[in-house]
Amino acid sequence: MGSSPRRIVFVALLLASLLGACGGNQTLRGYPISVGATSEPTASLPPVRFPQDEAPHGDLTEWWYYTGHLQAGNRRYGFELVVFQAVRGALPRSYVAHFAITDIKRRTFAYEQKQYTGPQPAQGDGFNLRLGTWTMRGADGRDQLRAAMGNYGIDLALESLKPTVLHDRDGVISFGPAGDSYYYSRTRMRLQGTITDHGKQLPVTGLAWMDHQWGNFISVAGGGWDWYSTHLDDGADLTVSVVRDLEGSTILEYGTYVDKRGQATHLTAEQITIQATDEWSSPTTGARYPSGWRLRIPSKRLDLMVQPVIRDQELDTRGTTGVAYWEGAVAVTGSATGRGYVELTGYAKRKP
């Protein structure tokens, strides 16, 4: 199975927030998260088409997601920018966007979220999404991102360096009674542009990871997940997901390895070993998160140590969604070196 249930569980919390939103723009501190869909799974789905399927669809749930690392001289940053879309019959389309910056030199983490209900600009073959002053658009692996909050802002141009990866080989993933989903990634995108840091605009370069997923799926029951993505310095890319049930037992583990030429290998649970090496307790929520991992893929001769660049990269969104989670920049050492992102959900208690 492909690499997507990690966000299905997450999106199951998000769409309720979207559907309850008022029209127009609203900026919130935090990160609203969505509700499950209510349709039956599709018996068969047509193949993914490019660039047509980069554009928004009429499916119940869809998102475009970027994480990456930026370099500005001796300063380094991690960033996340994601847009979720919810479609519910005749109701206006609803959107949530999240933007986060990890300032590695200052050892600080900042995040913000926008919510919007209403039309988007004309799309064409690619995607063109706008929530207030935040924009995300692109086609054929050439994308542009703009977002700003508080002391930080980004204005980035991205170009894919590898072929698009269709997860589970054809880009169509079945969740049985939960529904079906399309899912593809651009695992290595070269970026350049600027970051605004406390009023100072700095030129940046770096690498980003992009996910696009959509479908008429309902929520998958589960207690949470751990998701890992890495850009290795030898040119390879790796993603691994671990999905847990309400008791904390692993119910699904899978991944995708993309070599430096862009050839993808789909990984099963038997090919992956992950062990947490430390933990961190949040002073905000009291949640205890794993904080450091040993990740082994023997078939690819990988034995990696994955460490957060700073421990506190938690987003406390309980005030708007009832959920807090951790998503942050990591450093990779061991048999290969690199950088990446990790997402952890299900560790903090939900707000009643």
**Structure confidence by residue, pLDDT tens digits, 58-69:** 677 888 999 999
Task: Give me the DSSP letters along 96-137.
Answer: EEEEEEEETTTTEEEEEEEEEES-----TTSEEEEETTEEEE
Average pLDDT rounded to a whole number, residues 72-85: 94
- pLDDT at position 96 is 84
Report the percent of the chain where pLDDT is more than 90: 54
Cα separations (Å) of 266 from 48, 165, 167, 254, 291? 18, 10, 8, 8, 26
Q: Where are the domains of the chain?
A: 5-37+52-344
For the segment 307-338, what is each residue's pLDDT rounded down to a tens digit?
999 999 998 866 555 578 899 999 999 999 99
Partnered with residue 92 across adjacent β-strands are none
% of the chain at pLDDT higher than 70: 80
pLDDT at residue 1 in the model: 40
User: Using an 8 Å Cβ cutoff, are 303 and 331 in contact?
Assistant: no
Q: Are 220 and 12 in contact (CB under 8 A)?
A: yes
Helix (H) or strand (E) holding 319: helix 318-321
Omega before residue 51 within 30° of 0, cis: yes
Instruction: Flag whether pLDDT at 30 surpasses 50.
Output: no
> What's residue 46's pLDDT?
77
Q: What is the Cα gyration radius of the chain?
A: 19
User: Which tens digits make up the pLDDT trace of 126-182?
Assistant: 899 999 999 999 999 999 999 999 999 999 999 999 999 887 667 776 655 556 777
Sign of torsion over alpha carbons 219, 221, 225, 227: negative
Q: What pLDDT does residue 185 have?
A: 92
Write the DSSP assignment of 161-228 as a string of letters: -SPPEETTTTSEEE-GGG-EEEEEEEEEEEEEEEEEETTEEEEEEEEEEEEEEEES-PPPP-SEEEEE
pLDDT in tens, 213-258: 888 765 444 578 899 999 999 999 999 988 887 788 887 788 899 9
* Fold of the domain spanning 5-37+52-344: AttH-like fold (2.40.370)
